[in-house]
Amino acid sequence: MTSHSAEMLSKLRTQREAGLFCDITLRTNGRPFPAHRAVLAAVSDHFQEIFTEMDPNMKQDIDLTGKNE
């Protein structure tokens, strides 16, 4: 029997892979990763802080590529 949490994660993954309901795009090295902000914020205090402080009118695309100096 599949647990509710495993089934929910599976459905979220399927939605993300299909591009459904994705409301943010994370980029690294030019590669895009569509994602769900609510899921990222739920599992990461770092992302929760970023999204809480983000201007809602701001482009929903975040480049995570580190800059070497």
Cα–Cα–Cα angle for 61, 66, 69, nearest 5°?
135
Q: Which pLDDT band holds residue 1 (cuts at 50, 70, 90)?
A: low
**CATH number of the domain located at residue range(s) 4-63 in this protein:** 3.30.710.10
pLDDT at position 69 over 50? no
pLDDT band, residue 68 (cuts 50/70/90) = low
- pLDDT tens, 10-41? 999 999 899 899 999 999 998 999 999 999 99
Q: Examine the pLDDT at 7 and tell me if it is beyond 80.
A: yes
